[in-house]
């Protein structure tokens, strides 16, 4: 099915229902002085919910989102929503940007114009991109197929068809973080002939380094990563355990309560960003709530968390990736990978350690990330044929 233009338009009835729910929140008994130690801070969350209820203007944010060119297309039985913004340059390079969880396509809202129109942001027009930002299946305005097994590998196959069969690109670039990093690597592993290069902002949790058999042959940095990863999973990994094993049980509460949904998502923005304990240093309330609204108005928190279950139970192993790979690491991100491991498993041709930023890279530090993406792909552009 050919892609059709799409505009976000949430019904007045859904917004009225949300208003009712925000006015009728039943809060848990507070634990004095706990702050963020036991989860999302109650003082902050109550303030955010009050702002959501009394001041947040979804229609204004909806209008901003609709400034982008949105499309939807059915690919292998799955309705995929995506933004497709054309580059302003002599020969734009197509690039597909893949988001993760708990963010959405909104992760890239700041960086899209920096890539399509670099000349307006201090760059060179010859480094422009056609930017494609899909919503993962089950996220936002994408659909979710009835069958199980939609993991990173399956999504990579969908993206290959989106870029070649739907949009007609012969070769293209790919980039992503969080789940988007995994999808991008599976795309490079399965369809290397389509890619001029891939750009990543993380490698996720490196499970092979946590296997019981991994040990004596590891470098000192890899052994330190083992310890850091085990400590992090024990301290911060509860969300991952439940979303990998019982996502449906979680979905009932989060689909019914906007305050519950906000509490579940906001904790990760606090813990994973470079906000130094103060979310307002990295994100405005409007930005955080727009992302939460994308989950709420589409009722996709259940299908979005399902991907953790699918990835933990059905992902095939990855081989060494030979496609040229750029890696930009942000200091406040989760579990920065050991360089030796990355070089053994990916064809690293650019390694950048950023001065600031956390897990939500394109959102927190869009300028430095856009510059790194442009610099990495600049010498690779001749490999793309549109």
8 Å CB contact between 198 and 175: yes
8 Å CB contact between 204 and 184: no
Q: Is 103 a catalytic residue?
A: no
Gap between the Cα atoms of 42 and 259, Å rounded: 11
Q: In 269-300, which positions are buried (b, 16+ CB within 10 angstroms) versus exposed (e)? A: bbbbbbbeeebeebbeebbbbbbbbbbbbbeb
Q: Is 154 a catalytic residue?
A: no
Out of 144, 186, 295, 308, the active site residue is 308
Q: Which pairing describes strands 195-200 and 172-176: parallel, antiparallel, or unpaired?
A: parallel
Out of 169, 333, 359, 372, the active site residue is 359
Number of C-beta neighbours around residue 216 at 10 A = 6
Out of 103, 117, 127, 178, the active site residue is 178
Q: Is 84 a catalytic residue?
A: no
- DSSP letter string over 304-344? HHHHHHHHHHHPPPP--EEEEEEEEE-TTSSSPPPHHHHHH
* Tokens encoding 281: 């240093």
Gap between the Cα atoms of 118 and 367, Å rounded: 10
Q: Looking at the annotation, which residues are catalytic? A: 178, 308, 359
């Amino acid at each position: 099915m050919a892609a059709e233009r799409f505009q976000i338009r949430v019904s007045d009835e859904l917004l009225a229902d949300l208003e009712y729910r925000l006015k009728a929140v039943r809060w848990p008994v507070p634990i004095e002085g706990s702050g963020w130690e036991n989860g999302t801070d109650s003082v902050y969350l109550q303030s955010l919910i009050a702002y959501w209820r009394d001041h947040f203007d979804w229609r204004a944010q909806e209008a901003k989102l609709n400034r982008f060119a949105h499309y939807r297309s059915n690919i292998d039985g799955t309705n995929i929503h995506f933004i497709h913004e054309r580059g302003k340059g002599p020969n734009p390079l197509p690039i597909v940007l893949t988001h993760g969880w708990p963010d959405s396509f909104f992760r890239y809202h700041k960086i899209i114009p920096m890539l399509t129109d670099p000349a307006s942001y201090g760059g060179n027009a010859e480094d422009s991109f056609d930017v494609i930002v899909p919503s993962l299946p089950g996220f936002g305005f994408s659909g979710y197929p009835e069958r199980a097994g939609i993991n990173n590998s399956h999504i990579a196959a969908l993206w290959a068809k989106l870029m070649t069969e739907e949009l007609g690109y012969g070769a293209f670039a790919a980039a992503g973080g969080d789940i988007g990093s995994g999808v991008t690597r599976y795309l490079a592993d399965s369809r290397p002939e389509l890619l001029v290069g891939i750009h990543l902002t993380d490698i996720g949790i490196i499970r092979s380094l946590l296997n019981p058999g991994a040990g004596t042959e590891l470098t000192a940095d890899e052994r330190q990563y083992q310890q850091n990863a085990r400590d992090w999973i024990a301290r911060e990994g509860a969300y991952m355990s439940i979303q990998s094993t019982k996502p449906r049980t979680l979905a009932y509460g989060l689909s019914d309560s906007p305050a519950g949904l906000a509490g579940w998502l906001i904790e990760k923005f606090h813990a994973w960003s470079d906000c130094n304990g103060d979310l307002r240093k990295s994100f405005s309330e409007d930005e955080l709530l727009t992302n939460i609204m994308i989950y709420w108005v589409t009722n996709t928190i259940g299908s979005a968390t399902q991907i953790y279950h699918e990835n933990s139970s059905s992902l095939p192993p990855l081989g060494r990736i030979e496609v040229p790979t750029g890696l930009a690491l942000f200091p406040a991100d989760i579990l920065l990978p050991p360089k030796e491991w990355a070089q053994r498993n990916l064809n690293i041709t650019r390694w950048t350690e950023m001065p600031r930023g956390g897990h939500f890279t394109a959102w927190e530090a869009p300028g430095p990330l856009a510059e790194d993406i442009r610099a990495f792909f600049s010498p690779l552009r001749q490999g793309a044929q549109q």
